[in-house]
Amino acid sequence: AQSVTQLGSHVSVSEGALVLLRCNYSSSVPPYLFWYVQYPNQGLQLLLKYTSAATLVKGINGFEAEFKKSETSFHLTKPSAHMSDAAEYFCAVRTNAGGTSYGKLTFGQGTILTVHP
Amino acid sequence: KAGVTQTPRYLIKTRGQQVTLSCSPISGHRSVSWYQQTPGQGLQFLFEYFSETQRNKGNFPGRFSGRQFSNSRSEMNVSTLELGDSALYLCASTGGWSITGELFFGEGSRLTVL
């Protein structure tokens, strides 16, 4: 079975500082990894996804993530935080071990990002 | 292109009642999944429907059920509501035929059980 661990339930940064949100996965088969963002009272929006085409994935709003198989990690970064980045971020995994059930993602517990002026 | 639409957005029920939530997926998407989001348990998968058939089911009691119609719209039902069923219920759609396909989420239905 696959699982996802997000280290740090809360991360606080200053505006303009580097954002680093950590995600480690556990999977016995090649994983497909996703980062989603959720703003208050809204659904989840995809930031980026890893589909094995490239280990460094660029997403929307200046975010990127690097897949490191040796470390089983898929950390999310952004060089310079903006006030509008304040939200909750979720890492998720899907594997083909689930057969053809592509609607099922396994999510981490989420990381709330706070950005200080 | 319209996104995933969920209705109602907010609702309040009392223990023992039942509730039905509705989800209209993105046009052309055949897979609809449901998730429960709570502060304590996070995002948990309820079930997935594809072409009117349940393709997968999470670890929830039988009080939670769903269905999908021929136009891909989906409903989920929770019977005999308990206080612990208070949550944000999220619906997501995807084409359903690609393991790399992303899920598109609706804004959710927030259920409060009193």
State yes or no: pLDDT of A59 exceeds 70. Answer: yes
Segment B17-58, tens digit of pLDDT: 999 999 999 999 999 999 999 998 999 999 999 999 999 999
For residue A70, pLDDT beyond 80? yes
Q: How far apart are CA B41 and CA B8, in angstroms?
A: 23
List chain B residues with CB under 8 Å of A51. 100
At residue A53, the pLDDT reads 79
Set of chain B residues whose Cβ sits within 8 Å of the Cβ of A106: 45
Residue B10 near chain A (CB below 8 Å): no
Mean pLDDT score across all residues of chain A: 92
The mean per-residue pLDDT over the stretch B77-96 comes to 95
Mutate to test the interface with A, among B7, B29, B91, B100 (most CBs of A within 10 A): B100
Contact A103/B4, CB-based, under 8 Å?
no
Residues 6+ apart with CB under 8 A from B14: B81, B113, B114
Contact A104 B108 (CB under 8 A): no
Smallest CA–CA distance, residue B102 to chain A, in Å, is: 7
Classify the C-alpha dihedral A56-A58-A64-A67 as positive or negative. Answer: negative
Q: What is the pLDDT of residue A114?
A: 98
| pLDDT of A97 above 70 | no
Q: What is the pLDDT of residues A8-41, one digit of tens each?
A: 999 999 999 999 999 999 987 888 999 999 999 8
User: A22-36, A84-98, A100-114, B61-75 — which one is most confidently predicted on average?
Assistant: B61-75
- Helices and strands (DSSP H and E) totals, chain B: 0, 11
Instruction: Find the mean pLDDT for residues B6-17.
Output: 98
Q: Could you tell me what percent of chain B has a pLDDT over 90?
A: 90
Within an 8 Å CB–CB cutoff, is residue A35 touching chain B? Answer: no
